[in-house]
Structure 1
């Protein structure tokens, strides 16, 4: 039987049952004490003392017997009271023990339901509690939870099916539009207006395609399953992202402080973790000032692995920074609509971090700029696994 934690229903049940047993025992002992009116017979001495005959002697004898009887009654009451107190103390311990046993027995099905519910997540919604037993309140509760899990499973399946279908159905018209533009521009001596219109439409199609890709990644991170979990060194996607964006960093004359470590490992989807780092770095580049700086670092400790990306810049409002993880939320007019931005970057980052069991923290630096920390569960790298073997 598991322990009954302080402040739980089990503790309240224990006290309730104990109070009931103790109250019943107290009433029983009180009634026994009040109703104890048994007569005590005093045996005459074997050799009664010699007294002179007469009425005075008889009266003296009667008074002696009454005194002796009163002493015996007093001694009996004292012994009964002492025994009652001892019995009451014993009843306290017995009441607490019985109360604990009964509370544990009553709450055992609820603890089993709680443990089974905690084991069920988005990845195994097909599991059910399937509690057997009489049709009582506990069985009704378990059946209700099973019904809720069934509805959640149907909702998740429908959402995943939508994500899969949308990736094909929505990209098909975009590809058709691109092909039509290419055909129009490829004609002999196309009109200048046609070429200009095609260029603008391609830009808008790129934005729509980028927005669609962001929606799909966000939906996968929030409602999909991470079937490709594997140990991932956080330093690898960080360096790859820096290398891929070297031209953008140079164009804005940004100084990069590289504090990436190679021994920082986590466990998750390599594709989603790469997307997380790319979005953070893109956000740091696009919303940085000319000639600014970026500090990117990875480290780990007993709490887990961390990716920290810090930028300088203007002083930001922390309340507005806290809302940046919401879709399409931006800071100020200077962050409305930079080329290629769809307002989902940090939303995707937050969803990816949450899907990996981590935590994303956005902190407005008092001296200006932003510090973003992605804290993830740590994992042992291949070298550690070989050493353990």
Structure 2
């Protein structure tokens, strides 16, 4: 943005300076032509002078005693040549001095144009700075441009009005997510409790128990999907606050909590931790690490490994072994409810929101995510996060 701003400022300065220079050159040419045309013809003026001298000689005969000398022949050409040289010298001096003055004034015009361009662009700079600081967590910022009711003031007021409408929309979304979180979780919790109570009855027939287990599994998947959608909506809204979070400690805690899942899938967990602090939401960051680790465990081969590294950017790298992944299929993994193959579309491995949530959480922290196929199979996912200020 600074380069764009400097470019516009330079263009305006060049425009102001160029217009002044063109106007100065036109004025210099007009002044030169007016002075040149106002000067008398050298031949006629020389003849007039010689004629006057001849007349003076006629009334006063040339005598050495009186100091009067007769006008020699060819005096007209000599006087005409002298006058022509004088005119040429005068016009040259006028042209050179005017050109020097024009250069000085042009430099002054460029400086004044730079200053004026800064004043003209100042409201736009304020708009740019406000827009750069805007986010879902800081929608209360406004330009509030002071000044006369001109086009820039109208643009700033229009921008502020747009921000008011966006802030209202974000508030409505926050209220909706908060209400949906309660309204969606409560019925599922009630259903799960009723099913567990029915299955706890010692007189329940086997058919009822099989139906209860199927309903519990369906209920669990629904809870996972709703939880994932709520986390996705929360991360898409941005962060309301940021605190220093030790990412290495979060990753270590997630690995400890994932030990049973790794044992269940016969996967070995490996860690390479360096102290790394990021500014953000600890709950969302924990969810980001959890999703990556669980995906790396679940979509792995028996006897495979999951390597987790925390350090400088990329702040987090999670790599697993497993089947080869097509490079052209990797971008689809970050879309909601998208998986690679038939095995990944099975209903036993989550709701398909894991990497979508990872990308959304990283973007909420002003970071990014990349994925690439592993050299010997599996997937490598890296997360870039900004350094703590």
Cα deviation for residue 338 of structure 1 reads 4.9
Cα deviation for residue 225 of structure 1 reads 2.9
Two-structure CA RMSD over aligned residues (Å): 2.6
TM-score under structure 2 length normalisation: 0.87
Distance 1:193 1:345 in 2: 34
CA contact (8 A) 2:307 2:320 kept: yes
Aligned to 1:170, what secondary structure does the other structure show? helix
Distance 1:275 1:58 in 2: 113
CA contact (8 A) 1:260 1:299 kept: yes
Distance 1:378 1:7 in 2: 28
Match of 2:281 in 1: 269
Cα deviation for residue 292 of structure 1 reads 1.2
Higher Cα Rg: structure 1 or 2? 2
Distance 1:296 1:350 in 2: 17
TM-score under structure 1 length normalisation: 0.87
Match of 1:31 in 2: 30
Match of 1:297 in 2: 309
Distance 1:6 1:277 in 2: 39
The partner residue of 2:246 within 233, 246, 251 is: 233
More helix by share: 2
Aligned to 2:334, what secondary structure does the other structure show? coil
Pairing of 1:9-158 with structure 2 (within 5 A) = 9-36=8-35, 37-39=37-39, 53=70, 57=71, 59-158=73-172
Question: 2:289 matched to 1:257?
Answer: no
Distance 2:79 2:214 in 1: 125
Match of 1:331 in 2: 340
Aligned to 1:324, what secondary structure does the other structure show? helix
After TM superposition, the structure 1 stretch with the greater mean CA deviation from structure 2, 4-13 or 309-318, is: 4-13
Aligned to 1:144, what secondary structure does the other structure show? helix
Cα deviation for residue 168 of structure 1 reads 0.8
Cα deviation for residue 318 of structure 1 reads 2.0
Distance 2:281 2:300 in 1: 29
Structure 1 unaligned blocks of 5 or more:
381-389
Cα deviation for residue 375 of structure 1 reads 1.8
Cα deviation for residue 256 of structure 1 reads 2.7
CA contact (8 A) 1:13 1:99 kept: yes
Taking structure 1 as reference, are residues 305 and 232 closer, same or farther at Cα in structure 2, changes over 3 Å only?
A: farther
Taking structure 1 as reference, are residues 62 and 51 closer, same or farther at Cα in structure 2, changes over 3 Å only?
A: farther
Distance 2:20 2:140 in 1: 44
Number of residues of Structure 1 aligned to a counterpart in Structure 2: 368
Cα deviation for residue 59 of structure 1 reads 4.3
Cα deviation for residue 175 of structure 1 reads 2.3
CA contact (8 A) 1:266 1:379 kept: yes
Distance 2:229 2:209 in 1: 30
Distance 1:265 1:237 in 2: 10
Aligned to 1:371, what secondary structure does the other structure show? strand
